[in-house]
Amino acid sequence: MRTRTTALLLAAGAALVARRALRRRVQGSPLWPMPALDPPVSGRPRSRALTLLVTSRELVADGVVRIRLEGHDLPRWEPGAHLDLVLPSGLVRQYSLCGDPEDTSSYTVATRLAEDGRGGSREVHEQVQEGTELEVRGPRNRFPLVEAPAYVFVAGGIGITPVLPMLRALPEGAEWRLLYGGRTRASMPFLEEIEKLDRDGGRVTVVAEDEDGRPGLDAFLAQLPEGTAVYCCGPEGLIAAVEERLPAGTALHLERFAPRTTAGGDAEFEVELHRSGRTLTVPGDSSVLAAVRAELPGTPYSCEQGWCGTCQQKVLEGEIDHRDELLTDSERDDSMLICVSRARGTRLVLDM
- CATH code of the region 151-256: 3.40.50.80
Indicate if the pLDDT at residue 155 is higher than 50. Answer: yes
pLDDT of residue 22 exceeding 70: no
The mean per-residue pLDDT over the stretch 154-170 comes to 97
- Give phi and psi for 21, each to the nearest 5: -65, -40
Q: Of 252, 256, 286, which Cα lies nearest the Cα of 271?
A: 286
Residue 229 clears pLDDT 70, i.e. is over it: yes
243 versus 91: the higher-pLDDT residue is: 243
Winning range, highest mean pLDDT, from 26-40, 81-95, 165-179, 202-216: 165-179
Per-residue pLDDT at 335: 96
Smallest CA-to-CA distance from 300 within 272, 338, 336, 258 is with 338
Q: Check residue 262 and give its pLDDT.
A: 52
Q: What percent of the chain has pLDDT over 70?
A: 84
Give the CA distances from residue 328 to residues 55, 79, 86, 300, 335, in Å, rounded to whole numbers and listed in that order.
36, 19, 26, 20, 10
CATH 3.10.20.30-classified regions of the chain: 269-350
More confident residue, 212 or 66: 66
Residue 59, C-beta contacts closer than 8 angstroms, at least 6 positions apart = 65
* Band of pLDDT at residue 258, cut at 50, 70 and 90: low
Write down the pLDDT at residue 47: 55
Which architecture, in CATH terms, is 269-350? Answer: Roll (3.10)
pLDDT tens digits, one per residue of 72-99: 999 999 999 999 999 999 888 889 999 9
Smallest CA-to-CA distance from 86 within 124, 59, 31, 58 is with: 124
Confidence of residue 210 (pLDDT cuts 50, 70, 90): very high
Dmax over CA atoms of the chain, in Å, equals 97
How close are the terminal C-alpha atoms of the chain, in Å? Answer: 62
pLDDT at residue 239 in the model: 93
Are 64 and 189 in contact, with CB atoms under 8 Å apart? yes
Q: Tell me the pLDDT band of 259, cut-offs 50, 70 and 90.
A: low
Dump pLDDT digits (tens) for 269-314: 999 999 999 999 999 988 999 999 999 998 988 778 787 788 999 9
pLDDT-wise least confident of 13-27, 105-119, 159-173, 268-282: 13-27
Chain-centre distance of CA 112, in angstroms?
A: 17
Higher-confidence position of 340 and 7: 340
Nearest to 61 by CA among 146, 187, 180: 187
Pick the CATH number of 49-140 from 3.30.450.20, 2.40.30.10, 1.10.10.60, 2.60.40.10: 2.40.30.10
* CATH 2.40.30.10 domain residues, the chain: 49-140
Q: Calculate mean pLDDT across residues 176-197.
A: 95
Where in the chain do CATH 3.40.50.80 domains reside?
Answer: 151-256
- The mean pLDDT value for 56-84 works out to 96
Q: H helices of the chain, where?
A: 2-27, 120-127, 160-169, 191-197, 209-212, 217-220, 236-245, 288-295, 329-332
Percent pLDDT > 90 in the chain is 65
